[in-house]
Amino acid sequence: KEKGYKECRATADWLLSNTQVRPTVGIVCGSGMGGLADMLKDPQVIKYSDIPNFPQSTVHGHAGRLVFGTLKGKPCVCMQGRFHLYEGYPVQKTTLPMRIFKLMGVETMILTNAAGGLNQDYKVGDIMIIKDHINMPGFAGINPLKGPNDERFGARFPCMSDAYDRELRQLAHEVASELGYSDFLREGVYVVLGGPSFETIAECRMLHTLGADAVGMSTVHEVIVARHAGMRCFAMSLISNRSVMDYDSQEKANHEEVLETGRLRAEQLQKLVSNMVARLERN
Ligand code: 6GU
């Protein structure tokens, strides 16, 4: 039942036979950020439920479809809706699309997510470029690369110290500055948890002490698999709420504010991503 190289190859070929687009850029839309896919010109939409070997998406705010098209002339594929550990998938299943994208010819991944701001300088609506991650499920043995390694995808022990491409982060800073977004642009460390429950106060304090600036439930596993396969990665978090750090606070994290913040920043996120894609050199 587990999907290996053969299934990924078959799915990639099936997709390539169902679209004229030959994507070199892959985009993953975070919760409330599905509008990123609406930027693609001449979109060709394929529902996850129609794609052989593809998992199905279950979360409200995630559409569950691939959108192919061009963005500023560059051929792209966009995931509208991603797969999370908390939906009950084994972690290998949540990252399967990365391998399929690789086999379709994608070289650069751009991933977005909604996250809680652990760094108390961060405000709701800030955009954090991810410069590094802490894979908490990894500490508990949950890693998408666990098990036999297929060398056709990548190496047994892939390096992760360069997971978030330095040039792409630099490009994001340049583009954001040109757009006048510097006031709400940050760069920091993202920590992933399994979810679906949000963090306790003690957990937020611990995560912040460990060096994390934002906390969420996605992206890291996808980046590990994408890096394993040799794709370069850029990721950013939209800060949808400030993590509660003290026992007097009455604030509570909830999914509605995640979607609401997505709406608030949709336009800026779209401009940031599209202007970055416009200036990608390879591709
Ligand atoms: Cl506060 N925590 C987690 N784990 N994920 C989130 C979030 C918080 N806000 C958006 N996504």
Q: Using CA positions, which residue lies closest to atom 8 of ligand 1?
A: 116
H-run or E-run covering 47: strand 41-47
The pLDDT confidence band at residue 283, using thresholds 50, 70 and 90, is very low
Query: DSSP secondary structure string, 219-279?
Result: SHHHHHHHHHTT-EEEEEEEEEEEPP-STT------HHHHHHHHHHHHHHHHHHHHHHHHT
Summarised one tens digit per residue, pLDDT across range 118-143 is: 999 999 999 999 999 999 999 999 99
pLDDT tens-digit series, residues 218-258 = 999 999 999 999 999 999 999 999 999 999 888 888 888 88
Taking the centre of ligand 1 as the mean of its atom positions, its distance from the CA of residue 122, in whole angstroms, is: 14
Cα(105) to ligand 1 centroid in Å equals 32
Q: Is 84 a catalytic residue?
A: yes
Q: State ipTM.
A: 0.93
The catalytically annotated residue of 12, 39, 114, 235 is: 114
Angstrom distance (rounded) from CA 93 to CA 113: 18
Ligand 1 pocket mutation, candidates 199, 204, 221, criterion most atoms within 8 A of CB: 199
Residue 31 annotated to the active site: yes
Burial of residue 42 (number of CB atoms within 10 Å: 0-12, 13-18, 19+): exposed
Interval between CA 110 and ligand 1 midpoint (Å): 19
Q: What's the predicted TM-score (pTM) here?
A: 0.96
